[in-house]
Chains A and B, each alone.
Chain A
């Protein structure tokens, strides 16, 4: 039994052509290849050229891997019929592709001048830094000139953003806002039958269908390339059709990828349907998986030789070649020449690709994740008249009264919506209700449902809309109602939004500001799901900027910075709002009003990574590092400690990613002792461990007395018990005394 099947599959195709009796004269290229098919003979050959290119690329990828020169072997063999979409879609219809769509890419590239899909594919196999889309960071199907944003997903986690993009195209067009696509563009999104089961795939279908059923446009084509197997696990016969043929809100089309003329005709019909009705399509394209899941997947471990052989016998390319020859679209000699030509070109492209440079330093690898410096950002202020109108003549900076956090956030958002006409606010309950904590109060009334809208109750969909909308020209400000809810959709930030710049070398961006209400301290109300105090899953995401203000004025200036970074630099920013501080007005005593702040002057912004210092007497011997609820408690502790002669300086981190390590180090060295107050739970949930590790390793702070206090490793319980597991002001005072070498009274 031969384990390696490449040569067998290749030979079967070659033999099919060679054994054809030939003798069919060339027939007119402009006429249908069969019956009344919309596919002409000439187009069939053109599409076949891309299919064969894709097949031969797959084989070359494996040869490169065998020689230790290539690093990726998941191929498109047996899926080549997707090239009909490459030919039929416009080259500016966004295409979010899974890894078996190489033929589609090749076919689309043929429609545009200056494209070099063959060489580009080789560069990606060998992970060259000259790979035009990812710069050697991943083998992705992508192109900045062909509107193919790269997807690295193997689990269909790109479907929500495809639906979101489709929704946003029509939304932005309706609002008369500049669009990165044509207003009648459709979004194409491919994936496999096995990954259709994934929760994010289901979220994508649901989002599109929900739009359609609610009368909203969502022109997306979900193309399920059904090869009947996911690695070694077979999809039951008829499964995809049973699941999707009658799904409300999705128009189902089906084609057999082994029938080129039929696939072309149905694809044409589906695209026209989607483009004209602006409704979502589920396109079921039956394909065959050849050469295993990847080069490392040995089919003999789960299939018999007979089964493998029978599968390879179903190779769609055999039928396509036969069709071309039988119909007189090409002569036998012509097809042999075409084959030889492509074989040589693929080999030659590979020869040069292996010589091209690779990424050679960590700095180069990381470069696309760079966080912008403040000097690179323009803090935008809306036009005076438009601001006056939006605030109905009462500009917030003219209001002398200091205000609390929840009062300033909607003002900041309103101001930003004036400054950025493409800023969209969306999430659960954000529209007419103005958010469960009123953080979006008044926006719906001022800007209308086009720019301020409620979404379906699903965080994956919210973040999918954000990603898609950002890529077609919006500045999305999605809201996640509670921190705990972000975790069911975390991959939309971690694996998708935050990684786009990395895998596209910054050529595609999805700048956004995700507002999330979170943390504990809600006086026993809400329990875990409304008091989540872990942000560990967010802190580890490369390239993400995380802001977490604790006071009203900082909220305003930090939102301004995040908006500018998202719009100008494509930064994905998170804005964590401490629920317990929304209405807080006082710090020490009821009525002291020390937590009320004026509206920062328009244009004033807080630079990313800049902490705020609350100095004490000037002779501080302790640095307390904290943020959010912990900050307020630290300030309370600061006063108590001062009375005891322990002088503390308090540093509000404000930015949790990237952390202001340098500033912390500097202040720590000046004060001589460090206490990190981390309201998150103890293990990997907050930033304190990272802060202490940096201090312990830095020359100027190593050896200083330092410690942290955190919450317990538990979920937050309901009622007064909540306080038993979260940091309290007294804990801070006690820890500070210990650090200062004083006994607690």
Chain B
């Protein structure tokens, strides 16, 4: 067994590539299969009249309209995480991988179920299909400044979901992602607007919640039924192999390198996780408890998963860590 610290790796989802991340891909990417896949992807995009991913990454300025566009953002994040993983795996012994939402697709590639190019095809397919779905996502928080669970906020959230949902089918809302102390909610346009009106504003650190996630669809809800139906064929046709490391999915289910069914993983990718709440919290909890790694590593781009992973560590009191300060001092949750 290598002397490197053991790590579980978390792949970030949409929203992780922002202004600060411009150039991250270029800085991180090394020659190899990821770079090769990026070349192919870029060529295809250019041929289709779309900006190349490396061009987006190398742009002199961050343009929300361009960089946060669903297909562009997904591609950027996917390749950036893959590139980062190649660096991280030299510093850590990665024993298991999970991802948040889009990060699940990346996790499949990180774990070797899909090669980098086929992972890209998955990203493209899902982004194209999801772009057709009407609705959106909002991000809210149910922790306080100290990252402690606020039960009142939790109850308020439940009540808001129930009251908005009760207004009728056109106000459909649901939990989209359980994200530690953050909660992603999704729904129809009317539902989202009503939720934003219903939920009380609350400030956690410098950020005010809730807010709408620009360019996001109502992912991980029943509103994506059409996506799932259309994705099933192309996604399950992707050539898949057994993972080379443990994978934990958005139900918190564990898949081992020795017994995972690659086809079943793709099937779930096109169905389960598209249609129901993505429970990233459960995935973090499972990885802590069943692997007790030296490090919970949040892959780039950005550091968007550091807080959600930290929230779960504190909620669990893992290794006796019960305060934000102790957590930061411990170095258990890392971004690099």
> Is A113 touching B261 in the complex (CB atoms < 8 A)?
no
> Is A330 touching B282 in the complex (CB atoms < 8 A)?
no
Main secondary structure of the interface of A (DSSP, over half): helix
**Given A340-B1, A349-B290, also A113-B253 (CB < 8 A):** yes
> Is B289 touching A113 in the complex (CB atoms < 8 A)?
no
> Is A330 touching B290 in the complex (CB atoms < 8 A)?
no
> B95 at interface (Cβ–Cβ under 8 A)?
yes
> A338 at interface (Cβ–Cβ under 8 A)?
yes
Cα–Cα distance between A705 and B291 once the two chains are bound (Å): 66
* Chain A: interface size category: 20 to 34
> A22 at interface (Cβ–Cβ under 8 A)?
no
Binds B, one of A42-50, A182-190, A381-389, A396-404: A42-50
> A118 at interface (Cβ–Cβ under 8 A)?
yes
> A364 at interface (Cβ–Cβ under 8 A)?
no
**Given A45-B258, A352-B318, A355-B319, also A114-B251 (CB < 8 A):** yes
Shortest Cβ gap from B269 to chain A (Å): 14
- The residue from B1, B261, B286, B290 contacting A42, defined by CB atoms under 8 A apart: B261
> Is A116 touching B285 in the complex (CB atoms < 8 A)?
yes
B319 contact set on A, CB distance < 8 A: 352, 355
> A477 at interface (Cβ–Cβ under 8 A)?
no
> Is B291 touching A114 in the complex (CB atoms < 8 A)?
no
- Mark B101-123 against chain A: 1 for CB-CB distance below 8 A, else 0: 00000000000000000000000
B291 contact set on A, CB distance < 8 A: 345, 348
> Is A116 touching B249 in the complex (CB atoms < 8 A)?
no
Chain A contacts with B in 328-354, Cβ cutoff 8 A: 330, 334-335, 337-338, 340-341, 344-345, 348-349, 351-352
B1 contact set on A, CB distance < 8 A: 340, 344
Shortest Cβ gap from B223 to chain A (Å): 22
Shortest Cβ gap from B77 to chain A (Å): 24
Shortest Cβ gap from A419 to chain B (Å): 28
Cα–Cα distance between A120 and B290 once the two chains are bound (Å): 9
Cα–Cα distance between A344 and B291 once the two chains are bound (Å): 8
A114 contact set on B, CB distance < 8 A: 251-253, 279, 282, 285-286
> B320 at interface (Cβ–Cβ under 8 A)?
yes
> A177 at interface (Cβ–Cβ under 8 A)?
no
Chain B contacts with A in 214-264, Cβ cutoff 8 A: 242, 246, 249, 251-254, 256-259, 261
A213 contact set on B, CB distance < 8 A: none
> Is A49 touching B282 in the complex (CB atoms < 8 A)?
no
- The residue from A45, A113, A351 contacting B259, defined by CB atoms under 8 A apart: A45
**Given A42-B261, A113-B253, also A118-B289 (CB < 8 A):** yes
A355 contact set on B, CB distance < 8 A: 319-320
Shortest Cβ gap from A189 to chain B (Å): 27
> A18 at interface (Cβ–Cβ under 8 A)?
no
Could you pull out 16 A-B pairs where Cβ atoms are within 8 angstroms? A42-B259, A42-B261, A45-B256, A45-B259, A113-B249, A113-B251, A114-B252, A114-B279, A115-B252, A118-B289, A119-B289, A334-B258, A337-B257, A338-B256, A352-B289, A352-B319
A residues adjacent to B (C-beta < 8 A) = 29-30, 42-43, 45-46, 49, 110, 112-116, 118-120, 330, 334-335, 337-338, 340-341, 344-345, 348-349, 351-352, 355
B residues adjacent to A (C-beta < 8 A) = 1, 6, 95, 242, 246, 249, 251-254, 256-259, 261, 279, 282, 285-286, 289-293, 318-320
Q: Identify 12 new A-B residue pairs, CB closer than 8 A, beyond the known A114-B282, A114-B285.
A: A46-B259, A113-B252, A113-B282, A114-B251, A114-B253, A114-B279, A118-B289, A120-B289, A345-B292, A348-B292, A349-B290, A355-B320
